[in-house]
């Protein structure tokens, strides 16, 4: 996948989840996903050798994430508050998504978007490059990335 397509996918996720959120979110400085889940942990979980990180933050959307690897090959992010509304807007756009049991309140996997999980009023998303592993392997890795971020929040 071309770097511009990966950026568009990441931006599309943030755009699709953009809803009118209330006040009270934590500042971006306290929501540093790249620090919470360092690239060494991502490489350990993905079995990839990614180099470089880039924060992907949209305070207006209460979206905080990190892209790992040159061009953002893998990524993890969360939206809080407003996860329930974001989940509703996003999940309806992917009718062929596969339900991921045992992750959060509800979770789905779509090859083009990754794994999206709802925990209360927070949505977490993880994505690994398609073609580097089977769908079942991608779901397992993305689930591990989501849980690694969740435990550090």
**pLDDT tens figures, 8-27:** 344 334 433 333 233 333 44
**pLDDT for the residue numbered 33:** 92
pLDDT digits (tens, 9 = 90+) for 20-49: 233 333 443 347 899 999 999 999 998 888
Q: Does residue 121 carry a pLDDT above 50? A: yes
- Per-chain mean pLDDT for the chain: 78
Average pLDDT over residues 130-152: 89
CA–CA distance, 74 with 118 (Å, rounded to integer): 20
pTM: 0.76
**pLDDT for the residue numbered 111:** 87
Beta bridge partners of 54: 67
Higher pLDDT, 99 or 7: 99
Which range, 6-20, 45-59, 63-77, 139-153, has the best average confidence (pLDDT)? Answer: 139-153
The total of structural domains in the chain comes to 1
The 3-state secondary structure of 8-74, one letter per residue: HHHHHHHHHCCCCCCCCCCCHHHHCHHHHCCHHHHHHHHCCCCCCEEEEEEHHHCEEEEEECCCCCE
Q: Does residue 96 carry a pLDDT above 50? A: yes
Domain span holding position 12: 3-151
The tokens of 126 are what? Answer: 């993880």
């Amino acid at each position: 996948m071309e770097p511009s397509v990966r950026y568009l996918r990441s931006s599309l996720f943030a755009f699709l989840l953009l809803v009118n959120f209330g006040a009270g979110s934590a500042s971006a400085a306290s929501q540093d996903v790249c620090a919470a889940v360092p690239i060494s942990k991502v490489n350990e979980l993905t079995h990839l050798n990614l180099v470089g990180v880039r924060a992907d933050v949209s305070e207006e959307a209460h979206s905080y994430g990190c892209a790992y690897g040159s061009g953002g090959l893998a990524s993890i992010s969360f939206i809080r508050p407003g996860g329930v509304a974001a989940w509703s807007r996003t999940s309806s756009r992917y009718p062929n998504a596969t339900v991921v049991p045992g992750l959060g309140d509800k979770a789905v996997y779509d090859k083009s978007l990754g794994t999206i999980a709802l925990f209360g009023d927070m949505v977490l998303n993880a994505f690994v490059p398609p073609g580097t592993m089977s769908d079942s392997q991608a779901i397992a890795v993305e689930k591990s990335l989501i849980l690694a971020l969740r435990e550090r929040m």
